[in-house]
């Protein structure tokens, strides 16, 4: 009998998650596309969001917020994880690449100057977090310990700062 109840509850959870995907999936995919600038990576982030939601479904508490809010909170972290993985992959690929041509070195230098200029316009506490995460390769947990702040604060500041940087770079016309 207990097994039957467990199976019924799991089936209800599956239907609830399916309904959540139908209700919020398109909006979440749009958010991920805008954040990651890649339809494929956006789909990965949404898929990971729902996988994480499934694994942590027992922790959802509707008295604390809506299902949509809970899903977008999970998605924000999934997007950050995808972006971090992409940045790490690009860094490794760049390190393994052959010596660039002079015009490529000039373009890389220009991009570096532009990014440095954009970073200098950030608040110091935001710039330090981005530097530790993306330049020094520290984890969110390590950065939180380093600055004695909550890991969620690190993620939130990183997310907001990356958004501001992207807008700043786009407004300056530095995007290819």
Same domain, 122 and 60: no
User: In this model, does residue 2 exceed pLDDT 60?
Assistant: no
Report the CATH number at residue 31.
Answer: 1.10.1740.10
Give the number of domains in the chain.
2
pLDDT tens-digit series, residues 152-164: 999 998 898 888 8
The average pLDDT across 21-42 equals 88
DSSP letters of 16-50? HHHHHHHHHHHHHHHHHHHHHS-HHHHHHHHHHHH
Q: Is 26 exposed, middle or buried (0-12, 13-18, 19+ CB in 10 A)?
A: exposed
Give the model's pLDDT for residue 145: 92
CA-CA distance, 156 to 37, in Å (whole number)?
A: 19
User: In this model, does residue 92 exceed pLDDT 90?
Assistant: no
Same domain, 3 and 86: yes
Give the model's pLDDT for residue 172: 67
Closest among 115, 49, 40 to 81, alpha carbons compared = 49
Structure tokens at 4: 């039957």
CA-CA distance, 15 to 117, in Å (whole number)?
A: 49
Give the model's pLDDT for residue 5: 53
**Last residue within a domain, chosen from 64, 97, 130:** 97
Instruction: Provide the 8-state DSSP code for 134.
Output: I
Give the model's pLDDT for residue 133: 85
96 vs 59: which has the higher pLDDT: 59
pLDDT tens-digit series, residues 143-152: 999 889 999 9
Same domain, 110 and 132: yes
pLDDT tens-digit series, residues 35-84: 888 888 999 999 999 999 999 998 888 898 888 989 999 999 999 988 88
Give the model's pLDDT for residue 36: 87
Give the model's pLDDT for residue 11: 72
User: In this model, does residue 90 exceed pLDDT 80?
Assistant: no
Residue-range definition of the domain harbouring residue 88: 1-97
CA-CA distance, 141 to 80, in Å (whole number)?
A: 14
**Last residue within a domain, chosen from 68, 97, 126:** 97
Same domain, 59 and 117: no
Same domain, 118 and 80: no
Report the CATH number at residue 136.
Answer: 1.10.10.10
């Amino acid at each position: 009998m207990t097994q039957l109840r467990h199976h019924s509850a799991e089936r209800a959870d599956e239907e609830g998650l399916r309904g959540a995907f139908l209700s919020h999936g398109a909006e979440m995919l749009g958010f991920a596309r805008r954040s990651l600038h890649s339809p494929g990576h956006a789909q990965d982030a949404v898929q990971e969001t729902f996988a994480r939601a499934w694994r942590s479904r027992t922790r959802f508490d509707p008295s604390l917020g809506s299902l949509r809010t809970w899903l977008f909170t999970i998605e924000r972290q999934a997007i950050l994880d995808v972006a971090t993985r992409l940045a790490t992959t690009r860094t490794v690929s760049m390190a393994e690449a052959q010596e660039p041509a002079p015009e490529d070195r000039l373009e890389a230098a220009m991009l570096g100057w532009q990014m440095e200029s954009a970073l200098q316009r950030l608040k110091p506490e935001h710039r330090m977090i981005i530097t530790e995460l993306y330049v020094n390769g520290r984890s969110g947990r390590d950065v939180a310990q380093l600055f004695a702040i909550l890991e969620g604060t690190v993620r939130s500041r990183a997310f907001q700062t990356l958004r501001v940087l992207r807008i700043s770079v786009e407004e300056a016309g530095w995007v290819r």
